[in-house]
Amino acid sequence: MRQSKIGLHTFMAVPALVLFTLFFLLPLAQGIGMSFTDWDGLRTPNFVGLQNFFNFFKDTRALNDIKTTVLFALGSASLLNLVGLVYALIMDGKFRGKGLARVIIYLPAVISPLIMGYIWYFLLQPGRGFLSIAIKQLGHSEGLTNWMNTYCLQMLILVLVNVWQYTGMAMVIYLAGLQGIPKELYESAKIDGAGYGGQLRYVTLPLLLPSIRVNIVTNIIGSLAVFDVIMALTDGGPGYATESLSIYIMRMCYGAKTGYSTAVAMIMFLIILVPVVISMRLTRERK
Partner 1 sequence: MRKHIMIFLITLCLLVSCMAGCGLSYNSNDTSGNVSGTPNEGNTKSDKVKLKFFTGKIETIDIINEIINDFNASQNRITVEQEYQKDASNIIKIKFASADIPDIMTTYEQGFVDDGKFLDLSNCSQWWDRLLPSMKESCTDVKTGKQYRVCTNMTMAGFFYNKDIFSGLNLETANTWDEFTSNLETIKEQMPDVTPWFIFGKEAWHLGHLIEFIPHGYIKQSLGAVEAKKAMLNNDKAKLNFGAPDGAMAVFAQNMIDLKNKGYINSDVLTAVSDNCVQDFASGKAAMLSNGMWVLSSLLEANPDMENKIGFAPYPAYMPGSKPVVLSAEDSGYSISATTPYQEECIAFLDFLFLADNQKKYAEGCKAPSAFKDVTAEWAPAAIVSEVESALKNAVNIGFTNEKPAGFSGDDMGRMLQDVLVGSYTAESFASAYEKTWDEGMK
Question: Binding residues for partner 1, per CB under 8 A?
Answer: 8, 11-12, 14-15, 18-19, 40-43, 125-128, 146, 148-149, 235, 237-241, 252, 254-258
Nearest distance from C-beta of residue 223 to partner 1, angstroms: 24
Q: How far is the CB of 41 from partner 1 (least distance, A)?
A: 5
Q: Which is nearer to partner 1, 128 or 287 (CB)?
A: 128
Closer residue to partner 1 (CB): 14 or 138:
14
Cβ proximity to partner 1, 162 vs 242, nearer residue: 242
Q: What's the start-to-end Cα distance of the chain, in Å? A: 38
| 192 or 235: CB nearest partner 1 | 235
- Considering Cα of 36, then 41, then 45, then 46, what sign does the dihedral take? negative
Say how far apart CA 68 and CA 242 lie, in whole Å: 6
The answer to whether 256 and 237 are in contact (CB under 8 A) is no
Return the biggest CA–CA distance within the chain: 81
- Quote the least distance from Cβ 165 to partner 1, whole Å: 21
Least CB distance from residue 150 to partner 1, whole Å?
Answer: 10
Within a 10 A sphere around the Cβ of 19, how many other Cβ atoms?
10
Residues 6+ apart with CB under 8 A from 149: none
Please give the DSSP secondary-structure letter assigned to residue 96: T
Q: How far is the CB of 251 from partner 1 (least distance, A)?
A: 8
Distance in Å, CB of 72 to partner 1, minimum: 19
CA distance 125 to 113: 17
How far apart are the C-alpha atoms of 114 and 140, rounded to whole Å?
Answer: 30
Q: Residue 44 or residue 137: which is nearer to partner 1 going by CB?
A: 44
Give 211 or 262: the residue with its C-beta nearer to partner 1. Answer: 262
Distances (CA, A) of 247 to 180, 227, 235, 237, 265: 39, 6, 9, 11, 11
